[in-house]
Structure 1
Amino acid sequence: MQITVEQDKCCGAGQCVLLAPEVFDQRDEDGIVELLQDNPPAGLHDAVRQAAQVCPAHAITVAES
């Protein structure tokens, strides 16, 4: 799994952080997503997929490998 985020699309909703805090965080100053792990371990894959699905700005892309 390879994850990319488009910070310019992010609206700061924070759903990704709630679902996968080991993978996503938000900048303190504006709430924009920050990617902590671009290739997380298998145990986090379901949470990452769910985070990408619920992102209201579609700022998260998940590529399965």
Structure 2
Amino acid sequence: GKIEPIEMQIGEGLLKVVSMGFLVDNEESALMWRGLILNRAVQHFCEDVAWGPMDYLIIDMPPGTG
């Protein structure tokens, strides 16, 4: 199946969130991804998450990665 995003009610809208940070065991760990690995992670989030209908898709990348 697809990854289910976390859903948060914001006013009248619904915000769906997926983060690589959700997959890290240690909150102090930094993900230092670049190039092909980073591209595949973004592709994975776009293709393998059950987003459903949406008006916007916002991708927040750490400095130096995009």
Q: TM-score under structure 1 normalisation? A: 0.31
User: Which of the pair has more CA radius of gyration?
Assistant: 2
Q: TM-score under structure 2 normalisation? A: 0.31
Which structure shows the higher strand fraction?
A: 1
The answer to which structure, 1 or 2, has the higher relative contact order (CA under 8 A, 6+ apart) is: 1
